[in-house]
């Protein structure tokens, strides 16, 4: 993939060592011939092949592939003719899992524009940063999220389309439906209703988007605190959309359960792009509900489900789980955190299948690694997938290390992003040239065993993984400094029996302020997404600093991990 003129570190290395592929999935090629077309074309193919097949099941409602394409085209026409969207424009997508998310995403792609997915848990200041940084002038959002975007309408955003989820459900369904889904339509000043936009039924211009055009710009936070947009083309998104079902041998008549958030690359790929490429049906959940998930699996004969470990912990903890026929499940994949051996064994005993763990990032549009389904290893990232080269290197010298030695994962492949939007300096440190090839530095520490499997050890980057959500301490610190009583703040991780890791803030108060932990946590809930809010606050008189005045967060992190309280929290 081209470097687009961005500078990067070049490491003197004449030849890369061969990767260990002794346990490559039998019968699968090492190279995939990718479609040289846009993501929208996948929908066009599916709608042509299976027009009456349900593309979406949604709380009793159904959307066929023919209807899905028809509404995608109508919304694309509205975006072009009424909102002035042209090829390359950014369009913010701020909504929860729903048929509207799928339709909106493909309408943006149909118009040749770029999808900017926004975390539905974000609050106004966080949304404002993404809208401004991406240059989005149009947003499509769920009505329940209006507080996080209304102030931008007519200012940063020139056009808004507001969706009501209840438009697509069956009001008489016996499924447990979240209140946010049953809510009736509520107008938002400065925005046009979803139904009104579709009712215009405006034809879009001819679709001429190619594989190398920008398609999606998911935002990921970095050590500088401000979230950065990852530039993905139709080609890079297509790779994992094609690779996933090929690797897992997913049949075209599969039914997928989409419970992970679609604004996140894992949920977007496995809940939107993979099913559409394969022409599968998808049962969509707006909010996680273990009872609803069990009913959906039984009712729609769900065969493929991507879930994080904490989701499965909750799902398996149902007293009446045995009353549901879950025998249709054939593929269960996930990642974000290691699956405990005891839970993996329970899954095997219940359904006769393995939990297939994988590894990927926003920068790689989900997986670079997956466990082979015929020989999965527990608590393991797996093997580099089709056309993907990955090594573990010394973080200082960037030379490949021997099997069993710990180092940083670097990866090269068609799914790796072009770079960060407007962050050439970040690109310079994010990429390295090895053996004449461009590799992305993941910042994750791992080792490779003698069979070529990758195992996560730690994170070189300063990140907290709370139930699969990535929390960057510098971003949380930046918000905490907005409180008038906070003089200094350092954010670290603390152990959490349920979430794996949680956010802890160590704070120095300004003189004369009697700030209490509960007050700061309550304030944080009003200023940042819930998963970023500190669960624990500790006050100190001062923070340890280096000779250059930098807060020594590693010292505080080590103290936390060594404290007796950390083991019992």
pLDDT at residue 546 in the model: 67
β strands within 232-374, DSSP E: 232-233, 255-258, 281-284, 304-306, 331-334, 355-361, 366-370
pLDDT at residue 2 in the model: 41
User: Whole-angstrom Cα distance, residue 123 to residue 208?
Assistant: 36
Confidence label for 285 from pLDDT (cuts 50, 70 and 90): very high
pLDDT digits (tens, 9 = 90+) for 364-400: 999 999 999 999 998 899 999 999 999 999 998 999 9
pLDDT at residue 392 in the model: 96
Higher pLDDT, 458 or 162: 162
pLDDT at residue 225 in the model: 61
Are the C-beta atoms of 163 and 140 separated by less than 8 Å? yes
Are the C-beta atoms of 480 and 524 separated by less than 8 Å? yes
What does the CA dihedral 485, 472, 379, 300 come to, rounded to 10 degrees? 100
pLDDT digits (tens, 9 = 90+) for 505-549: 999 998 999 999 999 999 999 999 999 999 999 999 999 986 556
This prediction's pTM: 0.87
Are the C-beta atoms of 142 and 94 separated by less than 8 Å? yes
Beta-carbon contacts of 403 under 8 Å, excluding residues fewer than 6 positions away, are 20, 447, 448, 449, 450
User: Whole-angstrom Cα distance, residue 546 to residue 235?
Assistant: 45
pLDDT at residue 566 in the model: 62
pLDDT at residue 6 in the model: 54
Asked if residue 344 has pLDDT above 90, the reply is: no
pLDDT digits (tens, 9 = 90+) for 101-156: 999 999 999 999 999 999 999 999 999 999 999 999 999 999 999 999 999 999 99
Over pLDDT 70: what percentage of the chain? 96
Classified as helix, coil or strand, 54 is: strand
Q: Which domains does the chain have, with CATH numbers?
A: 63-230 (3.40.50.980), 464-568 (3.30.300.30)
pLDDT digits (tens, 9 = 90+) for 255-280: 999 999 999 999 999 999 999 999 99
pLDDT at residue 336 in the model: 77
pLDDT at residue 414 in the model: 98
Asked if residue 338 has pLDDT above 80, the reply is: no
pLDDT at residue 309 in the model: 86
Give the chain's largest Cα–Cα span: 70
């Amino acid at each position: 993939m081209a470097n687009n003129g961005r500078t990067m570190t070049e490491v003197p290395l004449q030849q890369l060592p061969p990767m260990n592929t002794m346990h490559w999935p039998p019968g699968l090629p090492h190279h995939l011939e990718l479609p040289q077309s846009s993501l929208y074309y996948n929908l066009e193919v599916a709608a042509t092949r299976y027009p009456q097949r349900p593309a979406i099941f949604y709380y009793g409602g159904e959307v066929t592939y023919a209807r899905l394409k028809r509404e995608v085209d109508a919304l694309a026409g509205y975006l072009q003719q009424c909102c002035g969207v042209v090829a390359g424009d950014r369009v913010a997508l701020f909504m929860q899992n729903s048929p509207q998310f799928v339709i909106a995403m493909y309408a943006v792609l149909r118009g040749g524009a770029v999808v900017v997915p926004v975390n539905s848990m974000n609050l106004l200041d966080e949304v404002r940063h993404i809208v401004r940084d991406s240059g989005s002038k149009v947003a499509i959002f769920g009505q329940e999220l209006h507080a996080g975007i209304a102030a931008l309408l007519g200012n940063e955003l020139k056009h808004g389309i507001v969706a009501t989820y209840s438009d697509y459900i069956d009001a008489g369904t016996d499924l447990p439906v979240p209140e946010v889904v049953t809510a009736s339509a509520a107008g938002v000043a400065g925005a046009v209703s979803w139904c009104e936009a579709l009712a215009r039924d405006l034809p879009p211009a001819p679709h001429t988007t190619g594989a190398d055009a920008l398609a999606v710009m998911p935002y990921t936070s970095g050590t500088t605190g401000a979230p950065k947009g990852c530039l993905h083309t139709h080609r890079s998104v297509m790779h994992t959309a094609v690779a996933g079902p090929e690797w897992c041998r997913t049949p075209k008549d599969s039914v997928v359960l989409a419970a992970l958030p679609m604004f996140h690359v894992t949920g977007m790929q496995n809940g939107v792009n993979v099913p559409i490429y394969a022409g599968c049906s998808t049962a969509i959940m707006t909010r996680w509900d273990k009872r609803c998930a069990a009913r959906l699996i039984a009712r729609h004969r769900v065969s493929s489900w991507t879930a994080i470990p904490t989701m499965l912990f909750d799902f398996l903890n149902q007293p009446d789980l045995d009353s549901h026929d879950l025998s249709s499940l054939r593929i269960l994949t996930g990642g974000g955190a290691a699956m405990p051996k005891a839970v993996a064994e329970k899954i095997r005993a219940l359904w006769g299948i393995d939990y297939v763990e994988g590894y990927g990032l926003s920068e790689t549009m989900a997986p670079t690694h997956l466990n082979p389904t015929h020989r999965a290893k527990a608590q393991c990232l797996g093997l580099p997938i089709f056309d993907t080269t990955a090594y573990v290197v010394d973080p200082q010298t960037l030379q490949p290390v021997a099997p069993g030695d710990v180092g940083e994962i670097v990866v090269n492949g068609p799914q790796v992003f072009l770079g960060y939007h407007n962050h050439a300096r970040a690109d310079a440190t994010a990429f390295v040239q090895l053996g004449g090839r461009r590799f992305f530095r993941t910042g994750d520490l791992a080792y490779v065993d003698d069979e070529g499997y990758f195992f996560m050890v730690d994170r070189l980057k300063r990140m907290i993984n709370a139930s699969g959500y990535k929390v960057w301490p510098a971003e949380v610190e930046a918000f905490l400094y907005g409180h008038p009583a906070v003089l200094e703040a350092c954010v670290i991780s603390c152990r959490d029996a349920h979430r794996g890791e949680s956010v802890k803030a160590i704070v120095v108060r300004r003189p004369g302020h009697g700030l209490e932990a509960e007050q700061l946590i309550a304030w944080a809930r009003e200023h940042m997404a819930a998963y970023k809010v500190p669960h624990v606050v500790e006050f100190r008189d001062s923070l340890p600093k280096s000779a250059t005045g930098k807060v020594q967060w590693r010292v505080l992190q080590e103290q936390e991990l060594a404290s007796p309280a950390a083991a019992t929290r």
